[in-house]
A and B are shown apart, each in its own frame.
Chain A
């Protein structure tokens, strides 16, 4: 499976002079339609933001477009949703910290491991390297749903084939509850594992392309594989690493199914997505707080997205085939 999706699908770039010259004069009709769709596409997010900065009594009295008539704005909703209060027993803050604590390792570790695999496959000659590569990349076909149930059982009860323990049962002898549940560990492990097939594929594309002469020269100078990997491969693969890092960051930040399965909605470990989903599903929804919470949760990925858009497009196109 040596397809290189991001190579094949051309990415946004500067028009070559010829193409620009050939381009017809911009059509006003096209411009109007595109602007109309752009406005339509932006309104939902604007509505969320506007609702989140209106005082609570306003949000009950009129829709967010009512801000045209009464321009009162407030940050109260944000203060309340961050710290909790009378209406919300708990604020979003602990969950936000959980998201950060989950995202960091779940982004860094899979990239590192994938680079290692890619290096071994590309630059440490061994029989079956190709089979290992295809085998790992092909694992992308497995949807996350295929792994959830057994993984949850494994983390909470351990796993053994007959009497042979393959994964230890890490129960706390006092509570009888697994030591792993209620920590970030299952989330880190699951996100790392799920990311590996695609990450290996992408990192291999980048690392296999390092000029052979450089590696050979280093080998002749007596550099070990480990030195080459740390001093040459990682720096040279940095653009590819950055592209995948953005993709993986957004994926983990926005994930819901893994969080829900392995962290539930406890304030100790659960990220913002289950918190918001619970808030949205609760009775007597408090729009002003829900919108403020949702805006806090989406503003960081959106900022990352606007800053690093080009890389993101690249990551998505390839990530498209992800499982």
Chain B
């Protein structure tokens, strides 16, 4: 009971915060409304834009600037070290692991998610009752990476083969006749792929829903004309369907790539980057908040930022092009 009281007090804090912010906003609205005549518009602009601009300046712009500056400084942020942190990232012997892993993640997880999502979207297009499957495949998207990590940790669990198995993967492999399944999460380098499976499990639903909508939006006269010309099956797919949804495919692919690049939660909960599974985003966290090396942590953040830019730019350009056509 006592615990419930404390809990409700916490929720109350949240509600109070919302109420206070609402009150403050109403107050500045009230003050702003007193401005008359030519002052009206300028005051309204300050009132409406002010809070957001302040937050963005303090919470995003200045911190990003300071991180960039910090990436050229040493571990404690006292001295300038030029590009030393960047040189360290790309040349230090141990670092090739997280660099290579991140590149593998960046290629494998998005391609497989999109590919499987596209296959499902095409198959769904030929089904009468599709909504239940769609919902269930889409559902992992609502689960946190930490939750997904626990779910899959259960599947990858290792037990001595002489004992009854608890992990589904080991059990299935043993049913199939393998006598001595490996300890999955320690099984280098394949453990990386097992972690990617979690990401794919989450992202396939997203790819499927978006691509399925794109396929349905292909005008039926286009398909009919192609069919009259004798295009069926694979030819119809490669010459009509794919070109018609090309833009959406690219958007889905780059979107998942952006998410993958920043993947942190899965690796941290499953292996914490041990056993050869480290990636850039988790290395950034480890450098910044475990090793307290501000310089290296900042430099890794900048690397992530720079890597994300071309993906987003390509994404936006693609969206614009599609819109212009429509």
Contacts and interface: CB of A to CB of B under 8 A. Distances in A.
Interface of A: 1, 3-5, 7-13, 15-16, 18-19, 22-24, 26-27, 30-31, 33-35, 37-38, 41-45, 47-48, 51, 59-66, 83, 91, 93-94, 96-98, 100-105, 108-109, 112-114, 116-117, 119-120, 124-126, 132, 136, 139-151, 154, 167, 184, 188-190, 192-194, 196-197, 200, 224-227, 229-230, 250, 253-257, 260-261, 273, 276-277, 280-281, 287, 290-291, 294, 297-298, 301-302, 304-306, 309, 312-313, 316-317, 320-321, 323
A45 B140 contact: yes
Given A45-B139, A124-B41, A226 B56 contact: no
A116 B51 contact: yes
Contact of A27 (B126, B206, B294): B126
A35 B124 CA distance: 10
Contacts of B42: 126
Given A125-B41, A154-B63, A97 B70 contact: no
Given A124-B44, A276-B147, 14 more contacts: A3-B323, A9-B214, A41-B205, A97-B10, A113-B55, A146-B68, A146-B301, A167-B58, A226-B33, A257-B265, A276-B150, A287-B157, A321-B315, A323-B308
Given A117-B52, A147-B64, A194-B60, A48 B150 contact: yes
Nearest to A297: B147
B48 A150 contact: no
B260 interface: no
B123 A30 contact: yes
Interface in B258-288: 258, 261-262, 264-265, 268-269, 272, 281, 284-285, 288
Interface of B: 3-4, 6-8, 10-11, 13-15, 17-18, 21-22, 25, 29-30, 32-33, 40-42, 44-45, 47-49, 51-52, 55-56, 58-64, 66-68, 70, 116, 120, 123-128, 130, 132-147, 149-155, 157, 164-168, 171, 201, 204-206, 209-210, 212-214, 216-217, 220, 223-224, 248, 251, 255, 258, 261-262, 264-265, 268-269, 272, 281, 284-285, 288-289, 294, 297-298, 300-302, 304-305, 308-309, 312, 315-316, 319-320, 322-323, 326
B140 A41 contact: yes
Contacts of B116: 37
A276 B127 contact: no
16 contacts: A3-B323, A10-B214, A23-B126, A30-B126, A44-B152, A104-B14, A113-B52, A145-B281, A148-B289, A149-B301, A150-B70, A193-B58, A194-B59, A226-B44, A254-B144, A291-B150
B302 A146 contact: yes
Contact of B125 (A7, A23, A47, A66): A23
A46 B68 CA distance: 45
A150 B52 contact: no
Contacts of B281: 145
A197 B8 CA distance: 32
